[in-house]
């Protein structure tokens, strides 16, 4: 028994099943978590390796390179990059698609641990960060006050950080801008000389003084006791009174022991005030909106505390706002589209009750989809919301086809029950095949291992579930309801649709009668796509202008933090003096001794009167000059598109800097290349200390022992961690006023040797010079980048211009240049999408071949896809739209949609021929019968996407816009609908003639 007949025979059971699905869906809807991005992992990881107070060359040689070499032995690596600076190193490892990053992260840890003994002794820890969407901070807060908060770590940790950490759903809270206090043991050089103290021995004594060990068990009076020797240090007094030499020399006799905040080497400003940052990341399974709302409610309670008076907490970034704004925009667009679709349905159906029956497919399908989201553990995020938005226009397609066919049988004189059964059964295979073609385009993402496939999964699942739900309701509930209402009354007055149907039938008859004309017309129509394609701009990741500007200071040396602050204050004052002119909402600055950047947050789009480019030029005109650097702008892209870069690669950093300077100048002359700059960093001034081997040997020392003594004295070292009231506290051993010491102080550094103490100058030679800047390596070769901002020029055009310039530059032997990763990403993404489209094309053909039981008829329907692409080219040309990744996704979805109308038409023509009509009469009658549902389904889908076509709605509120994808679907579907009605019947007849001709040839051959 057919499913339609079953639903009509058991109407109460059918309705109860669907009511149950609705109730379950409504209940589950409240439980579906909302988040900005789903928890998607990428095959890559970044190893962060802190190593403070060093040099880029030392960090690169002793840490980055050994780790690079050992990680290179892991299988499946696609690229390995590293960068080494004064305080840290970073190694980024990218694996080939298909590798499980969780397993690879374990391998990375094992490999680093295997060479731990080769790394410096004072190397403490490293962090492995796996690449994943949804792992960024959910809420970023900034804390500022008129009073000094530099020493307020415990206050902020107790009243803000710890209270937020206790909120359900909060995964991690990072407080920065204030440092946790530490115990500093600052030795006095004169006392070291006086008492002949060996710093290495002192360090060991401090390490061993704090202990707690298990020494086994003893028995006394029948009871067993655990023996645990302890020697814990709890306070600064405990450390001061620690005896370090006989008879009673204590730590306080040679050093000052203080409990204080460490000196910061960075600072943040927000609106010209010192700011403290608080980044909050939710748990992976938590609801972003709910977590953020709970945090903000807690912050309101925190603000009421007496201790927090005068301290202001600002929102820097709120992920929930992006989610809710995107939801509101999609809901608004969806409601407008749905309303337009209902109006179109009423115009065609001319019956309010029938229109409502068809429209019920939309809310039912959406509610059921959200219910399945809960059971499939899919969150409501910007990707799944995109799928729901795309599905809205397609949800009535099956219901329209079924309802229209039921009405056709009613007009032929059948009763309500038979009309519902025969009408639904006749088109059931066609609508099922059409739904499968819309669904199957997402199958290639399962077999294609690319980062796009993970994103397409969430888009595809929303569309698949919604379309399957609409298919089921169109074959069960729609016929059931249609059988219970009176059919549209016969009206002898001909409507506009009826008149249009007659004219269409006459045009189709005329077109079929002129074979040569139709062939020429079809060929010209297809070849016309060459015209717009030649003018179309292609950019997979276009930079979307953000109402934000990044001003990098490009410091020319390493300065004290106070010196950098003076320049930062000067620039900020200039910006705030012209705040209204430059349409600045706020300025956020982060700076260190060798780096500074100000982020200019501009007014929102709806309030802006000037473009970002115009503001950039106005700011640059009178930007104050600073002696310590050369400020330059960087655009900030809404979709995080990577900046265009060119790399020069070799071994010597000096040679690379010369080449980069030459490349920078030549590329800067190209029109459309803005803010071209070399990423070479000026190294800090350094004092090079060369140990004299002979003199050191005379004192019984090796060069490495002397180097370690100097390192421990100047850099300082964490020798112990003691337990305090608020957790563990670092104990740092260093020389007194080490940051204010001069070169002469360094030369006079006392080195204890046995019974005597000598000065460092007697063991080593000193030389002042400039050290290397940050060292960057790509695939284990030293590299230097040249960054380029593009203005009114596409990456493809930029690639051509770059190639011309770079090929003219004479590279020394062993040196070469390469494009940045952004160029390669464009090609990878395009290749991946073309693969997906090719596989989807093949799968659609398989479904139609099975439906028609023919290898030739599906070819006629497949032609709709080609003409749909031609329509996209023309629509993009007319609207001046750039063809990007979103447009590619639009094509993929369009492929499944455009063949639906073709399937419905060809299936009906074949059905009419099976009933005895001639081919010519079947084609004309089939076109007349299917014109109305084809126009209705196309119109509802197109009108459902019109708000997104003309709007600027963006993914997540600040991501790439939806309109390229919406325009691709609208342009392609509109064009292919015309083709389906006029050209497809002609192609069908031509292919049928080919079939008959080949049959005659085969018959004659027998």
Judging by beta carbons within 10 Å of its beta carbon (0-12, 13-18, 19+), is residue 916 exposed, middle or buried? exposed
- Percent of the residues in the chain that have a pLDDT greater than 90, as a whole number: 0
Q: What is the CATH number of domain 182-260+685-770?
A: 3.30.2090.10
Report the distance separating Cα 947 and Cα 341, nearest Å: 12
In 3D space, the residue among 424, 469, 423, 462 whose CA is nearest the CA of residue 442 turns out to be 462
Q: What is the pLDDT of residues 554-579, one digit of tens each?
A: 887 778 888 899 999 999 999 888 88
Q: Do the strands 182-187 and 727-735 form a parallel or antiparallel pair, or are they unpaired?
A: parallel
The whole-number pLDDT of residue 238 equals 79
The whole-number pLDDT of residue 487 equals 63
Per-residue pLDDT at 451 exceeds 70: no
If you average pLDDT over each of 15-24, 671-680, 876-885, which comes out highest? 15-24
Interval 703-720 mean pLDDT = 72
Q: Do the strands 584-592 and 727-735 form a parallel or antiparallel pair, or are they unpaired?
A: unpaired
Report the distance separating Cα 372 and Cα 386, nearest Å: 16
Mean pLDDT lowest for which of 131-140, 461-470, 933-942, 945-954?
A: 945-954
State the Cα torsion 749-750-751-754 to the nearest 10°: 180
Mean pLDDT lowest for which of 42-56, 538-552, 576-590, 837-851?
A: 538-552
224/544: higher pLDDT: 224
Asked if domains 41-132 and 545-684+774-820 share a fold, the reply is yes
Q: Locate tokens 């952004």: which residue?
A: 822
Kindly state the helix (H) or strand (E) to which residue 727 belongs, with its residue range: strand 727-735
Residues counted in the chain: 1006
The whole-number pLDDT of residue 738 equals 57
pLDDT level of residue 637 (50, 70, 90 thresholds): very low
The whole-number pLDDT of residue 352 equals 76
The pair phi, psi for residue 481, each rounded to 5°, is -70, -40
Report the distance separating Cα 129 and Cα 580, nearest Å: 41
Report the distance separating Cα 832 and Cα 447, nearest Å: 11
CATH number for 495-527+821-1006: choose from 1.20.1640.10, 1.10.1760.20, 3.10.180.10, 3.40.50.2000.
Answer: 1.20.1640.10
* H-state helical runs in 578-678: 612-621, 653-667
The whole-number pLDDT of residue 194 equals 78
Per-residue pLDDT at 683 exceeds 70: no
Report the distance separating Cα 861 and Cα 34, nearest Å: 40
Mean pLDDT lowest for which of 363-372, 478-487, 904-913?
A: 478-487
Per-residue pLDDT at 931 exceeds 60: yes
CB atoms within 10 A of CB 514: 12
CB neighbours of 513 closer than 8 A, spacing ≥ 6?
A: none
Judging by beta carbons within 10 Å of its beta carbon (0-12, 13-18, 19+), is residue 632 exposed, middle or buried? middle
In 3D space, the residue among 278, 265, 266, 267 whose CA is nearest the CA of residue 143 turns out to be 278
In 3D space, the residue among 16, 135, 27 whose CA is nearest the CA of residue 374 turns out to be 27
Whole-Å CA distances, 805 to 42, 450, 657, 662, 927:
34, 33, 17, 11, 58
Q: What is the pLDDT of residues 314-346, one digit of tens each?
A: 887 887 887 777 677 767 766 776 677 677 777
The whole-number pLDDT of residue 427 equals 81
Report the distance separating Cα 540 and Cα 242, nearest Å: 66
383/393: higher pLDDT: 383
Interval 254-276 mean pLDDT = 81
- Please compute, for residue 375, the number of CA atoms within 13 A of its CA located in the half-sphere on the CB side: 12
Report the distance separating Cα 87 and Cα 266, nearest Å: 12
- The residues pairing with 634 across neighbouring beta strands, listed in sequence order, are 550
Contact 89, 63 (CB under 8 A): yes
Q: With H, G, I as helix, E, B as strand and everything else as coil, classify residue 441.
A: coil
Q: With H, G, I as helix, E, B as strand and everything else as coil, classify residue 169.
A: coil
To the nearest whole number, what is the mean pLDDT of the chain? 79
Q: What is the pLDDT of residues 806-844, one digit of tens each?
A: 888 888 888 888 877 666 666 677 777 777 788 888 888
Report the distance separating Cα 901 and Cα 973, nearest Å: 10
Tokens coding 780: 């284990």
The whole-number pLDDT of residue 641 equals 43
- Percent of the residues in the chain that have a pLDDT greater than 70, as a whole number: 88
Interval 379-403 mean pLDDT = 78
Q: What is the pLDDT of residues 720-776, one digit of tens each?
A: 777 766 667 878 887 776 555 677 777 777 776 766 777 777 777 777 766 666 788
Contact 1006, 967 (CB under 8 A): no
Report the distance separating Cα 950 and Cα 966, nearest Å: 9
Q: Locate tokens 């789009």: which residue?
A: 605
Per-residue pLDDT at 231 exceeds 70: no
CB neighbours of 165 closer than 8 A, spacing ≥ 6?
A: 173
Under DSSP, the state recorded for 626 is B
Tokens coding 663: 């490349």
Whole-Å CA distances, 963 to 453, 884, 952, 959, 967:
21, 11, 7, 12, 6
CB neighbours of 80 closer than 8 A, spacing ≥ 6?
A: 68, 71, 72, 91, 92, 93, 94, 779, 780
The pair phi, psi for residue 584, each rounded to 5°, is -95, 130
In 3D space, the residue among 518, 469, 444 whose CA is nearest the CA of residue 367 turns out to be 469
The whole-number pLDDT of residue 303 equals 87
In 3D space, the residue among 697, 688, 703 whose CA is nearest the CA of residue 746 turns out to be 688
Domain boundaries, the chain: 1-31+351-487, 41-132, 182-260+685-770, 495-527+821-1006, 545-684+774-820
CB-based contacts of 334-339 (< 8 A; 24+ apart in sequence): 334/388, 334/389, 334/392, 334/944, 336/946, 336/947, 337/392, 337/393, 337/943, 337/944, 337/945, 337/946, 337/947, 337/948, 338/362, 338/392, 338/944
CATH topology of domain 545-684+774-820: Alpha-Beta Plaits (3.30.70)
- The residues pairing with 45 across neighbouring beta strands, listed in sequence order, are 93, 130
Report the distance separating Cα 723 and Cα 234, nearest Å: 6
Domain 1-31+351-487, CATH class in plain words: mainly alpha
Tokens coding 702: 């090796």
In 3D space, the residue among 411, 463, 167, 142 whose CA is nearest the CA of residue 271 turns out to be 142
CB atoms within 10 A of CB 344: 22
Tokens coding 118: 């080769």
In 3D space, the residue among 211, 212, 209 whose CA is nearest the CA of residue 240 turns out to be 209
Report the distance separating Cα 429 and Cα 847, nearest Å: 11
Per-residue pLDDT at 905 exceeds 70: yes
The whole-number pLDDT of residue 378 equals 84
Contact 123, 47 (CB under 8 A): no
Domain 41-132, CATH class in plain words: alpha beta
If you average pLDDT over each of 243-247, 321-325, 371-375, 631-635, which comes out highest? 371-375
Per-residue pLDDT at 543 exceeds 70: no
pLDDT level of residue 404 (50, 70, 90 thresholds): confident
Contact 952, 963 (CB under 8 A): yes
Q: What is the pLDDT of residues 34-78, one digit of tens each?
A: 777 777 777 888 898 888 777 788 888 888 889 988 998 888 888
Whole-Å CA distances, 903 to 271, 280, 662, 863, 934:
62, 52, 61, 12, 11
The whole-number pLDDT of residue 333 equals 66
The whole-number pLDDT of residue 636 equals 45
One DSSP character per residue, 360-394 reads THHHHHHHHHHHHHHHTT--B-HHHHHHHHHHHTT
Q: Locate tokens 């789903």: which residue?
A: 38
The whole-number pLDDT of residue 959 equals 56
User: Roughly how many angstroms between the first and final C-alpha of the chain, as a whole number?
Assistant: 43
């Amino acid at each position: 028994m057919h499913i339609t007949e079953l639903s009509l025979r058991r109407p109460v059971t059918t309705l109860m099943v669907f009511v149950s699905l609705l109730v379950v869906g409504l209940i589950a809807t409240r439980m579906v978590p909302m988040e900005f991005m789903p928890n998607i992992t990428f095959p890559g990881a970044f190893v962060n390796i802190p190593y403070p107070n060093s040099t880029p060359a030392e960090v690169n040689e002793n840490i980055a390179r050994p780790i690079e070499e050992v990680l290179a032995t892991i299988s499946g690596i696609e690229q390995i990059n590293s960068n080494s600076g004064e305080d840290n190193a970073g190694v980024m490892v990218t694996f080939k698609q298909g590798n499980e990053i969780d397993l690879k992260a374990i391998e990375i840890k094992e490999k680093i641990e295997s060479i731990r003994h080769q790394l410096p002794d004072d190397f403490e820890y490293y962090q492995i960060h796996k690449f994943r969407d949804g792992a960024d901070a959910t809420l970023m807060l900034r804390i500022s006050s008129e009073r000094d908060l530099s020493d307020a770590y415990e206050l902020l940790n107790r009243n803000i950080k710890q209270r937020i950490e206790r909120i359900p759903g909060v995964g991690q809270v990072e407080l920065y801008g204030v440092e946790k206090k530490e115990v500093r043991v600052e030795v006095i050089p004169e006392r070291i000389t006086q008492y002949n103290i060996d710093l290495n021995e002192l360090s060991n004594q401090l390490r061993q003084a704090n202990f707690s060990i298990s020494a086994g068990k003893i028995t006394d009076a029948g009871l067993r006791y655990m023996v645990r020797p302890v020697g814990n240090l709890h306070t600064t007094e405990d450390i001061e009174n620690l005896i370090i030499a006989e008879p009673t020399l204590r730590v306080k006799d040679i050093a000052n022991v203080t409990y204080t905040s460490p000196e910061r080497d960075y600072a943040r400003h927000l609106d010209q005030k010192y700011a403290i940052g608080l980044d909050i990341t939710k748990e992976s399974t938590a609801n972003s909106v709910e977590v953020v709302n709970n945090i903000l409610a807690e912050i309101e309670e925190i603000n009421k505390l007496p201790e927090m008076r005068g301290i202001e907490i600002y929102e820097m970034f709120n992920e929930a706002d992006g989610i809710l704004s995107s939801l509101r925009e999609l809901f608004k667009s969806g409601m407008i589209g749905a309303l337009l679709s209902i109006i179109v349905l009423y115009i065609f159906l001319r019956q309010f009750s029938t229109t409502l029956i068809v429209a019920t497919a939309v809310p039912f399908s959406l509610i059921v989809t959200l219910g399945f989201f809960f059971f499939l553990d899919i969150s409501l995020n910007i990707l799944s919301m995109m799928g729901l938005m795309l599905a809205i226009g397609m949800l009535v397609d099956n219901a329209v086809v079924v309802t229209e066919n039921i009405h056709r049988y009613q007009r032929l004189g059948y009763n309500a029950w038979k009309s519902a059964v025969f009408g639904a059964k006749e088109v059931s295979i066609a609508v099922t095949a059409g739904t499968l073609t819309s669904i199957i385009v997402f199958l290639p993402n399962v077999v294609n291992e690319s980062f796009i496939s993970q994103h397409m999964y969430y888009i595809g699942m929303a569309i698949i579930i919604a379309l399957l739900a609409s298919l089921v309701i169109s074959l069960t509930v729609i016929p059931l309801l249609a059988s219970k209402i009176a059919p549209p009354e016969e009206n002898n007055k001909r409507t506009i649709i009826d008149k249009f149907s007659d004219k269409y039938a006459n045009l189709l008859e005329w077109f079929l009668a002129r074979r040569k004309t139709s062939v020429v017309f079809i060929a010209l129509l297809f070849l016309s796509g060459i015209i717009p394609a030649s003018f179309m701009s292609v950019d997979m990741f276009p930079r979307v202008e953000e109402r934000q500007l990044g001003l990098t200071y490009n410091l020319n040396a390493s300065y004290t933090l106070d010196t950098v602050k003076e320049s930062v204050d000067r620039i900020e004052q200039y910006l705030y003096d012209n705040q209204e002119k430059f349409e600045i909402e706020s300025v956020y600055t982060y700076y260190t001794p060798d780096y500074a950047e100000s982020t200019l947050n501009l007014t929102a789009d709806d309030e802006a009167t000037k473009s970002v480019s115009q503001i950039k030029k106005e700011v640059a005109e009178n930007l104050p000059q600073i002696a310590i650097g050369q400020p330059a702008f960087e655009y900030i892209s809404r979709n995080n598109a990577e900046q265009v870069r060119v790399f020069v690669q070799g071994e010597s950093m000096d040679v690379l800097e010369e080449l980069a300077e030459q490349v920078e100048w030549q590329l800067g002359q190209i029109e459309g290349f803005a803010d071209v700059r070399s990423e070479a960093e000026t190294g800090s001034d350094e004092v090079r200390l060369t140990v004299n081997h002979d003199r050191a040997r005379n004192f019984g020392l090796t060069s490495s022992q002397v180097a370690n003594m100097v390192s421990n004295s100047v850099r300082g070292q964490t020798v112990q961690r003691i337990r305090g009231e608020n957790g563990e506290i670092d104990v740092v051993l260093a020389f007194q006023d080490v940051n204010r010491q001069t070169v002469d102080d360094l030369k006079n550094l006392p080195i204890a040797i046995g019974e005597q103490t000598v000065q460092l100058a007697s063991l080593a030679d000193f030389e002042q010079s400039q050290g290397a800047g940050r060292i960057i390596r790509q695939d284990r070769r030293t590299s230097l980048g040249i960054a380029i901002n593009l203005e009114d020029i596409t990456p493809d055009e930029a690639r051509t211009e770059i190639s011309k310039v770079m090929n003219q530059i004479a590279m020394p032997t062993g040196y070469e240049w390469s494009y940045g990763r952004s160029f390669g990403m464009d090609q990878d993404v395009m290749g991946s999408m073309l693969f997906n489209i090719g596989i989807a094309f093949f799968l659609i053909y398989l479904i139609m071949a099975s439906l028609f039981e023919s290898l030739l008829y599906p070819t006629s329907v497949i032609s709709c896809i080609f003409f749909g692409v031609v329509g996209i080219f023309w629509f993009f040309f007319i609207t001046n739209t750039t063809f990007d990744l979103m447009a590619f996704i639009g094509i993929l979805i369009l492929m499944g949609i455009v063949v639906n109308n073709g399937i419905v038409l060809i299936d009906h023509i074949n059905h009419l021929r099976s009933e005895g009509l001639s081919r010519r009469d079947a084609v004309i009658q089939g076109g007349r019968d299917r014109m109305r549902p084809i126009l209705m389904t196309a119109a509802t889908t197109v009108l459902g996407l019109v708000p997104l076509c003309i709007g600027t709605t963006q993914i997540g509120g600040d991501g790439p816009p939806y309109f390229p994808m919406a325009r691709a679907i609208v342009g392609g579907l509109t064009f292919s609908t015309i083709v389906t009605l006029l050209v497809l019947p002609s192609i069908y007849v031509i292919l049928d003639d080919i079939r008959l001709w080949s049959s005659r040839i085969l018959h004659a051959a027998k």
